[in-house]
Structure 1
Amino acid sequence: MIFHGEKLEHHDTPVHDFLMDRFERHEKNDPNCLAFTTAENEQDSISYKNLKKKIIQISEWFLENGYKKGDVVLLAAHNNWRCFAFCMGAWRAGLVVSAASSQFTAYEMNYQIEDSHSQLILADAQTLPVVLEASKNLKFVKNVVSIAPNSPKPVIEFEVLTSRLIRNLKMPKIDPMNDLVLLPYSSGTTGKPKGVMITHLNVSMMMVSCIQFHDAIAKSYGLPPDFIFPHELHFLPLYHVMGLFRALLTSYRGSNQILFTKFDMELMLKSVEKYSIAILAAVPAIIVRMVNFPLLKNYDLSSLGTISVGSAPLPDGALQKLKKLIPDLRIVQGYGMTEFSFATHMQSPDCADGSVGRPVPGTSMKVKKEDGTLCGPHEVGELWIKGPQMMKGYWKKEAATQELKDEDGFMRTGDIVYFNENGDTFICDRIKELIKVNAKQVAPAELESVILEHDDVADVCVFGVDDKDSGERPVACVVSKQGKRDLETMKAIMRHINQKLARYKHIKEIEFVGEILRTGTGKILRRTMKKAFLDAKKSRL
């Protein structure tokens, strides 16, 4: 049985043109209409009119400084409206934007800069030292630009890109089907993170799909199709496809995005109260913190009607607590992957509770049993998806791309699901071995490769275990050399990995074992190792 989302008309306008046309409309409706306001400093805001001007200035700076269509530039900064303008300006100049976590160490940053061959990097005061260290021996990096003032030379200050006359230079012609717009990195189940090639067509079709979906919901509530909320809070990181895509979609609508440089619970609650926020987009880790926040009852959250949750499943305990605190609150969950630009499933008002909804317009899904036959309603199997938002492929890894697809062009997700008669889809488990820490992907293979660098480690297996605060946390089972199992060896291994990788990838628990169980072909029996670890832990209680 194959389920199809609603029919979706083909839309192949390049992303920047699609949005710039809307910015002109917002400006005509209200010349002073704000696009972004910085949550921590409300004086730092920008109108749609001025945002459009800065995008044009940035795109012309790229052309004047020798950047050519197809070149990759890297976003490595915390949330800032200048990051949004940077992305749009790069796209207008025909460039591809990759984005790295603002939490990355120099080791991780260096890998992404080198693999993506990024020729320019946008940083801020906090990430600049990491970026400079990571790029110091990479001769293909032409420029580092910083949002922060008074940056050391030869770093270029962001204002240089926008303090210039507009010359109306001719921009490169975009082929939406083939030209890349984004190159995010997704943690695979083997090896290091892979670049995901997202085209202009992928993003444009994803936007049109979301617009059609949300317009239908607005209509069901008796609201006009172009209905917008005057303010929306935005604290999801722009370096993540979920955060960036929501920023694109909200700017299309014309709301003023209250943009958080970094997430702050108290500031978020104050902002909900101040701006009478009706809808929040969040990840489960934020919801878990919210329901356990001691000052929650001090704020008037009566305007809040819906919280949209994505990136990872919301723990049922947090969901029940939230419903007790705000009884009329509606929680909607969705499903997506970096490889599908943003989302494949969304929950409409008539979807079953606990589901991630149905395929969005233009998207099809099927669920396969282990023998390859299709599942019917309430039968458990692996989710396979096809749609116009599906990535072009993995960067420089054609074989890895083809391994994911079947003969009908559906891509496997690695997630175990079932669906009901209406197509409402329920996530049961993950085949893939990724660990989700505060909704961030952690690949066991990446942690294992770093741990194996340590002189005292002979073999290792990393897996995720449940954690009430972060959803999951990584644990390492280690076979030590010369049988070392003392506390100092354990601490030394932890220091080694924790100095090299971002905080959310840190190992906080190591179990010394006699061997790592493997298949005949050498693959780690990760589930077996995890079960043995948990069983041993229970026996010690």
Structure 2
Amino acid sequence: MTIFTSPLPDVAIRDVTITQALFAALEKAPARVVLIDGPTGKAWTGAEVIAGVKALAGGLSARGFGAGHRVALMSPNSPEFAVIFHAVGWAGGTLTTLNPTYTAAEVRHQLTDSGAEVLFTIAAFEATARDGMAGTNCRELVIIEAMEAWQGPALPAQVPVDLDAHVFVLPYSSGTTGLPKGVMLSHRNLVVNVDQGLAVIKILPDETLVAFLPFFHIYGMNVMLNTHLIAGARLICMPRFDLPAFLGFVQDHRVRMVMAVPPVANALAKHPLVDSYDISSLKVFVSAAAPLGAELSNACGARTGAMTMQGYGMTELSPISHFSNEERAVAGAVGFTVPNTLCKIVDAGGQALGVDAEGELCIKGPQVMMGYLNNPEATARTIDAEGWLHTGDIACFDASGQLFIRDRLKELIKVKGFQVAPAEVEAVLQTYPGVLDAAVIGVPDDEAGEVPMAFVVLAAGVDLGGVAAHLAAELSPYKQPKHIEVIDAIPKSASGKILRRLLKDGLAAK
């Protein structure tokens, strides 16, 4: 059996929580500014972050939402997000993070499935949050702008937890297929992946990065927020990506490295506004969460003068399994295997393949999730009896150990790096009266990478405008099909499985 490993030595496995790891880093220079709120410019020092975390952890514990309890957080990026995140961890609780663009129906699903008892959100999302809480066991809503009322006497020490068995964070992912599922990640998962990342990602002490990758998503959460703060970097928190503001931050703070997704590479390669700013400080551009083609990678590098490279991972991997090396980055490759990680490429029959052979990428390591919440069947489909996580991605290794992602076995659609499960959109479509059947596929898009497209079978007299309005009411904007086509029948196999390839082939033939 051919097993691919890291060219780097294993990292030590630390017996600390992710918040203890953060505090150990911040306490080295407590007066240093570590977080800046992009819209307001308000700065937080390391000492202020620690104090805020301990005070909110004390308040959560005093109100009965400490050890063993589940907290939900629905917020754009801000320094307060980091405080809430780590306060829940310090108090021994479990945190589930929600996309702030969610509709009330999507909020309700995650609150119900996760078992969250209290929800933190900003004032702008209060109405959606309250609607989403209806009918769930989530009985408290905390508005982040007024969360001082929830602070209590500082909790002086980490509430003891089992580093391997305690579920700390529950981000939601569709995995290789199906509806969104809670990904159970332990403190061990997060800490070891931070250390794996630090073994391959060159982060300079006291450098400043622009944090527009959403913290609710594992890429923004553990690579951007945790890894960079633990490495001694400073983050400017952007609630959403805005090109002029982003370019201004890069110019004014002399930003050296950008962590991004392919649509940002597209903007830097093509948008005329880039020429209006001095971004000569930019030396490294990292893209992950969705494939970045060699052509766009080269165009971004040529326009910015930055080394453009990729990383690979998934929520179920906390998230990093592969990352490019600045000295040996290869266009189109997602890099080398990180330490403490084993990989194999298998064919349809499960046989391991060698160098340059394409098959499904399988990964084993301490960053692999504990499993999916309340879903042992989906867990067993993803992690086999030998502990290999089956990624659903078709890939190959070259002779130097660089990994190339070729295609997806899984049905997920990647919109600007966010997952869209066709089954979720199809289920919403089929709840609309007069939609007799539906299928959803991903189609290429210059800006987003992919966007959903729906095919529907309609009863007589049903208006597509009503279908679109129904989708808008039930789904976040990025999940909504950008095109809806009416067809006579959805192609299916004898067992009833949607034959999405036939739908894609039909589009290609037009």
TM-score by length of 1: 0.90
Give how far 1:470 is off: 1.1
| Aligned ranges 1:528-539 → 2 under 5 Å | 528-535=502-509, 538=510
Asked whether the 8 Å contact 1:35–1:251 carries over to 2, the reply is yes
What residue number does 2:279 align with? 301
Asked whether the 8 Å contact 1:12–1:205 carries over to 2, the reply is no
What residue number does 1:55 align with? 53
Question: 1:373-401 CA deviation, whole Å, 9 max, x = no partner?
Answer: 11111111110001100000000011211
> Which amino acid in the other structure matches residue 117 of structure 1?
G
Q: Are positions 1:438 and 2:416 aligned together?
A: yes
Question: 1:43-86 CA deviation, whole Å, 9 max, x = no partner?
Answer: x2111011111111111111111124221111101111111001
Give the alignment partner of residue 526 of structure 1, picking from 486, 500, 505: 500
Asked whether the 8 Å contact 2:435–2:459 carries over to 1, the reply is yes
In structure 2, what is the Cα distance between the partners aligned to 1:86 and 1:62?
A: 10
> Which amino acid in the other structure matches residue 46 of structure 1?
W
| Aligned ranges 1:201-240 → 2 under 5 Å | 201-214=188-201, 227-240=204-217
Range that drifts further, 181-190 or 274-283: 181-190
> Which amino acid in the other structure matches residue 306 of structure 2?
L
In structure 2, what is the Cα distance between the partners aligned to 1:131 and 1:203?
A: 28
Asked whether the 8 Å contact 2:177–2:412 carries over to 1, the reply is no
| Aligned ranges 1:2-401 → 2 under 5 Å | 2-5=3-6, 6-27=9-30, 32-42=31-41, 44-138=42-136, 140-148=137-145, 157-162=146-151, 164-166=152-154, 168=156, 172-188=159-175, 190-214=177-201, 227-245=204-222, 246-326=224-304, 328-348=305-325, 349-401=327-379
Return 5+ residue gaps in structure 1 as ranges: 149-156, 219-226
SS in 2 for 1:433: coil
SS in 2 for 1:527: helix
Give the alignment partner of residue 478 of structure 2, picking from 504, 514, 517: 504
| Aligned ranges 1:380-459 → 2 under 5 Å | 380-459=358-437
SS in 2 for 1:391: coil
Question: 1:382-423 CA deviation, whole Å, 9 max, x = no partner?
Answer: 100011000000000112111222343111101011111122
> Which amino acid in the other structure matches residue 432 of structure 1?
K
- Going from structure 1 to structure 2, the CA distance change for 1:315 and 1:126 (only over 3 Å counts) comes to farther
Range that drifts further, 427-436 or 203-212: 203-212
In structure 2, what is the Cα distance between the partners aligned to 1:38 and 1:198?
A: 27
In structure 1, what is the Cα distance between the partners aligned to 2:395 and 2:467?
A: 37
In structure 1, what is the Cα distance between the partners aligned to 2:400 and 2:431?
A: 50
In structure 2, what is the Cα distance between the partners aligned to 1:4 and 1:300?
A: 40
In structure 2, what is the Cα distance between the partners aligned to 1:38 and 1:104?
A: 23
Return 5+ residue gaps in structure 2 as ranges: none
Question: 1:63-120 CA deviation, whole Å, 9 max, x = no partner?
Answer: 1111242211111011111110011111011111110101101111111011111111
Question: 1:486-523 CA deviation, whole Å, 9 max, x = no partner?
Answer: xx622221111122111111122122212112122211
SS in 2 for 1:518: coil
Asked whether the 8 Å contact 1:188–1:194 carries over to 2, the reply is yes
Asked whether the 8 Å contact 1:71–1:95 carries over to 2, the reply is yes
In structure 1, what is the Cα distance between the partners aligned to 2:186 and 2:367?
A: 9
In structure 1, what is the Cα distance between the partners aligned to 2:187 and 2:270?
A: 41
Question: 1:297-342 CA deviation, whole Å, 9 max, x = no partner?
Answer: 011111100001110012444323323323x310110100000011
Give how far 1:10 is off: 2.1
SS in 1 for 2:491: coil
Give how far 1:190 is off: 4.6
- Going from structure 1 to structure 2, the CA distance change for 1:12 and 1:337 (only over 3 Å counts) comes to same
Give the alignment partner of residue 477 of structure 1, picking from 424, 449, 455: 455
In structure 1, what is the Cα distance between the partners aligned to 2:112 and 2:265?
A: 36
> Which amino acid in the other structure matches residue 516 of structure 1?
I
Asked whether the 8 Å contact 1:189–1:444 carries over to 2, the reply is no
Give the alignment partner of residue 490 of structure 1, picking from 459, 464, 474: 464
Asked whether the 8 Å contact 2:372–2:379 carries over to 1, the reply is yes
In structure 2, what is the Cα distance between the partners aligned to 1:185 and 1:498?
A: 21
- Going from structure 1 to structure 2, the CA distance change for 1:346 and 1:191 (only over 3 Å counts) comes to closer
- Going from structure 1 to structure 2, the CA distance change for 1:241 and 1:310 (only over 3 Å counts) comes to same
- Going from structure 1 to structure 2, the CA distance change for 1:212 and 1:317 (only over 3 Å counts) comes to closer
SS in 2 for 1:126: helix
- Going from structure 1 to structure 2, the CA distance change for 1:122 and 1:477 (only over 3 Å counts) comes to same
In structure 2, what is the Cα distance between the partners aligned to 1:324 and 1:253?
A: 29
SS in 2 for 1:83: helix
Give how far 1:142 is off: 3.0
- Going from structure 1 to structure 2, the CA distance change for 1:173 and 1:167 (only over 3 Å counts) comes to closer
Question: 1:198-249 CA deviation, whole Å, 9 max, x = no partner?
Answer: 00110111111112223xx57xxxxxxxx41432211111111111111111
In structure 2, what is the Cα distance between the partners aligned to 1:417 and 1:166?
A: 48
TM-score by length of 2: 0.95
Percent identical pairs in the alignment equals 29
SS in 1 for 2:278: coil
- Going from structure 1 to structure 2, the CA distance change for 1:254 and 1:161 (only over 3 Å counts) comes to farther
In structure 1, what is the Cα distance between the partners aligned to 2:442 and 2:506?
A: 13
Give how far 1:188 is off: 4.0
RMSD over aligned Cα atoms: 1.6
Asked whether the 8 Å contact 2:165–2:186 carries over to 1, the reply is yes
In structure 1, what is the Cα distance between the partners aligned to 2:359 and 2:153?
A: 58
In structure 2, what is the Cα distance between the partners aligned to 1:188 and 1:203?
A: 18
In structure 2, what is the Cα distance between the partners aligned to 1:261 and 1:353?
A: 30
Give how far 1:447 is off: 0.3
- Going from structure 1 to structure 2, the CA distance change for 1:407 and 1:81 (only over 3 Å counts) comes to same
